[in-house]
Amino acid sequence: MVNRVFLVGFIFATFFGVIWCACRQSYVTKCDHFEDLKKYEDIENMRTLIIGSEHGDVEPSPVSLIEDLDYYSYYRLSTVIIVRSINQLKPQLSWKCDYHESSLKYFTLYANKLKVIEKDQLPRISLKLFSLVNNGIESVKPYAFYHQIEEIDLSENLLEVIENDSLPSESTSVSIRNNKLAHIEADGLPKGLKNLNLAGNQLRYIPPEVLKNVKNLTELTLRHNKFNSLPPIKHLEQLVVFDISFNSISTLERGTFEKMDNLKLIDLSDNNIHQSDVLQLLSTPGKQPSLTVSLALNRLSNLELENLSLQTQTFVLYGNPWKCNVWHEIKKSLSVRESDCSFELPSNETLPICVSYVVDGDYSARETEIAKFVAAFREILKNRPRNVYCRDDLSRNKWLYPIKRNCYGFHG
Ligand SMILES: *[C@@H]1O[C@H](CO)[C@@H](O)[C@H](O)[C@H]1NC(C)=O
Ligand SMILES: *[C@@H]1O[C@H](CO)[C@@H](O)[C@H](O)[C@H]1NC(C)=O
Ligand SMILES: *[C@@H]1O[C@H](CO)[C@@H](O)[C@H](O)[C@H]1NC(C)=O
Ligand SMILES: *[C@@H]1O[C@H](CO)[C@@H](O)[C@H](O)[C@H]1NC(C)=O
What is the CA(277)–ligand 3 centre distance, in A? 13
351 within ligand 4 shell (Cβ under 6 A): yes
Ligand 1 atom closest to the CA of 187, numbered from 1: 2
Res 20 pLDDT > 70:
no
Q: Which of 98-102, 160-164, 391-395 has the lowest mean pLDDT?
A: 391-395
Model confidence at 153, pLDDT cuts 50, 70, 90, reads very high
22 within ligand 1 shell (Cβ under 6 A): no
216 within ligand 2 shell (Cβ under 6 A): yes
Ligand 4 atom closest to the CA of 351, numbered from 1: 5
Res 374 pLDDT > 70:
yes
186 within ligand 1 shell (Cβ under 6 A): yes
Res 387 pLDDT > 60:
no
What is the CA(212)–ligand 4 centre distance, in A? 46
165 vs 410: which has the higher pLDDT: 165
Mean model confidence pLDDT for the chain: 83
What is the CA(19)–ligand 2 centre distance, in A? 52
Minimum-distance ligand to the CA of 279? 3
What is the CA(307)–ligand 3 centre distance, in A? 6
Per-residue pLDDT at 377: 78
Residue whose CA is closest, atom 13 of ligand 2? 192
Per-residue pLDDT at 253: 87
Residue whose CA is closest, atom 9 of ligand 2? 192
Res 159 pLDDT > 80:
yes
**% of the chain residues with pLDDT over 70:** 78
187 within ligand 1 shell (Cβ under 6 A): yes
Model confidence at 27, pLDDT cuts 50, 70, 90, reads confident
- Residue-wise pLDDT tens digits, 67-87: 888 777 788 899 999 999 999
375 within ligand 1 shell (Cβ under 6 A): no
Per-residue pLDDT at 96: 60
Per-residue pLDDT at 327: 82
What is the CA(337)–ligand 3 centre distance, in A? 21
SS (H, E, C) the chain: CHHHHHHHHHHHHHHCCCCCCCEEECCCEEECCHHHHHHCCCCCCCCEEEECCCCCCCCCEEECCCCCCCCCCCCCCCEEEEECCEEEECCCCCCCCCCCCCCCCEEEEECCCCCEECCCCCCCCCEEEEECCCCCCCEECCCCCCCCEEEEECCCCCCCEECCCCCCCCCCEEECCCCCCCEECCCCCCCCCCEEECCCCCCCCCCHHHHHCCCCCCEEECCCCCCCCCCCCCCCCCCCEEECCCCCCCCCCCCCCCCCCCCCEEECCCCCCCCCCHHHHHCCCCCCCCEEEECCCCCCCCCCCCCCCCCCEEEECCCCCEEHHHHHHHHHHCHHHECHHHHHHHHCCCCCCEECCCCCCCHHHHHHHHHHHHHHHHHHHHCCCCCCCCCCCCCCHHHHCCCCCCCCCCCC
What predicted TM-score, i.e. pTM, was given to this entire model? 0.86
Model confidence at 18, pLDDT cuts 50, 70, 90, reads very low
Q: Which of 121-130, 221-230, 320-329 has the lowest mean pLDDT?
A: 320-329
Res 248 pLDDT > 60:
yes
Testing ligand 2's pocket by substitution, the residue of 187, 212, 216 carrying the most ligand atoms inside 8 A of its CB is 216
Highest mean pLDDT, choosing among 2-6, 33-37, 177-181: 177-181
